Amino acid sequence: MIYTLTLNPSVDYIVELDKIALGELNRTKKEAKFPGGKGINVSRVLNRLGEKSKALGFIGGFTGDYIHHYLQQEMIETDFVRVNDDTRINVKLKADAETEINANGPSISEYDFTSLKDKVGKLGHDDLLVLAGSIPSTMPDSTYEEIVQICSKNGAKFVVDAEGELLKNALPYKPFLIKPNHHELGEMFNTTFENCEDVIPYGKKLVDMGAENVIISLASKGAIFVNKEMTLISSVPEGEVKSSVGAGDSMVAGFLATYEKNKDIEEAFRYSVATGSATAFSIGLCDRKTVETLLPQVKLRRGEVQ
């Protein structure tokens, strides 16, 4: 079974304005709220693509209740650890550009973390855990490493979608899939990228560092896939971006949902890109129909073998 782990869930408050005037009263044109946090987004998109998953993580307070009820209504299984503080609220401003304000998140006690590790310890060979997003600021950088060590010991596969040290520390344990975007990749290697070709050598480095499969997204510029056997470069569909919040998480869900069905990497990568764009072209997360409409626009070509 697929499990998702969101150590720092959020209520995402999405606000649309014509423009933002700093230091003044602004009134919204439209607003919406959704349960958020990367792992939770992966569970919600998997569900829309017909794949079951169970959402794990820490939730607390009225915001935690909101997330819990929302997922229950969508018939998504959960097994959260309840914490004392409120789950955070992240503000997403959409005006000329998209601006995000993500909060630190609640404090997590040793006891809470142990309860969570006990749940992860029950996963075995037939399971896959998606670890996604930041960790609450009270938790150490070694947090993901501790969790993937448990998976590795019990033979459970895992996916990591996180930034910086959290991702680097997990690589030696051989994640099944990682999905940095080009900014995150640039920060890891202290460089910047213009296009898909620039990114390929760094995708290969991540494979050498332990990742089995690597997807690197470059928003409207395309995406690349690298593993030991192949390098693929993908175009992205054209359309109007309504909110890119969760587009990266949707890529992970699109890949896993398809791979679970047929173990076909190329097909999984095509779905991954179509699912990412389907979310970028929606307010909130995508639905299956939009993914299937966009799929014919996703064209893959092979990167050069080096």
Ligand X SMILES: Nc1ncnc2c1ncn2[C@@H]1O[C@H](COP(=O)(O)OP(=O)(O)OP(=O)(O)O)[C@@H](O)[C@H]1O
Positions 226 through 245 that interact with ligand X (CB under 6 A): 236-237, 241, 244-245
Taking contact as CB under 6 A, which single stretch among the options 18-26, 35-43, 113-121, 179-187 is the one that binds ligand F1X?
A: 35-43
Buried b (16+ CB within 10 A) or exposed e, 243-268: bbbbbbbbbbbbbbbbbbeeeebebb
Among 64, 106, 246, 254, binds ligand F1X (CB under 6 A): 246
By CB under 6 A, is residue 64 in contact with ligand F1X?
Answer: no
x/- track of binding to ligand X for residues 258-277 (CB under 6 A): ---------------x--xx
In degrees to the nearest 10, what's the CA dihedral of 239, 240, 243, 249? 0
Residue with nearest beta carbon to ligand X: 248
Total number of residues that touch ligand X (CB under 6 A): 20
Instruction: Decide: 159 and 131 in contact? Cβ < 8 Å.
Output: yes
Shortest separation between residue 90's beta carbon and ligand F1X, angstroms = 4
From the list ligand X, ligand F1X, none, pick the one residue 236 interacts with, judged by a Cβ distance below 5 to 8 Å according to partner type. Answer: ligand X
* Phi-psi label, residue 36: left if phi above 0, alpha if psi -120 to 50, beta otherwise: beta
Residue with nearest beta carbon to ligand F1X: 36
Closer by beta carbon to ligand X, 76 or else 298: 298
x/- track of binding to ligand X for residues 175-214 (CB under 6 A): ------x---------------------------------
- Structure tokens belonging to residue 152: 């590795």
- Structure tokens belonging to residue 269: 């990568």
Shortest separation between residue 294's beta carbon and ligand X, angstroms = 9
DSSP bridge pairs for 217: 181, 223
Positions 101 through 120 that interact with ligand F1X (CB under 6 A): 102
Task: Provide Rg for the chain, Cα atoms.
Answer: 18
By CB under 6 A, is residue 8 in contact with ligand F1X?
Answer: yes
Q: What is d(CA 277, CA 287) in angstroms, rounded to the nearest whole number?
A: 11
Q: What is d(CA 78, CA 101) in angstroms, rounded to the nearest whole number?
A: 26
Taking contact as CB under 6 A, which single stretch among the options 9-17, 53-61, 121-129, 215-223 is the one that binds ligand X?
A: 215-223
Catalytic (active site) residue 79: no
From the list ligand F1X, ligand X, none, pick the one residue 90 interacts with, judged by a Cβ distance below 5 to 8 Å according to partner type. Answer: ligand F1X
Q: What is d(CA 203, CA 184) in angstroms, rounded to the nearest whole number?
A: 12
Among 248, 259, 286, 295, binds ligand X (CB under 6 A): 248
Q: What is d(CA 248, CA 298) in angstroms, rounded to the nearest whole number?
A: 16
Report H helices in the chain: 38-48, 61-73, 110-120, 143-154, 164-170, 182-189, 196-208, 247-262, 265-280, 288-294
Residues binding ligand F1X (CB under 6 A)? 8, 10, 12, 36-38, 41, 90, 100, 102, 133-134, 245-246, 248-249
Residues binding ligand X (CB under 6 A)? 181, 217-220, 223, 236-237, 241, 244-249, 251, 273, 276-277, 280
Q: Which residues are the active-site residues?
A: 249
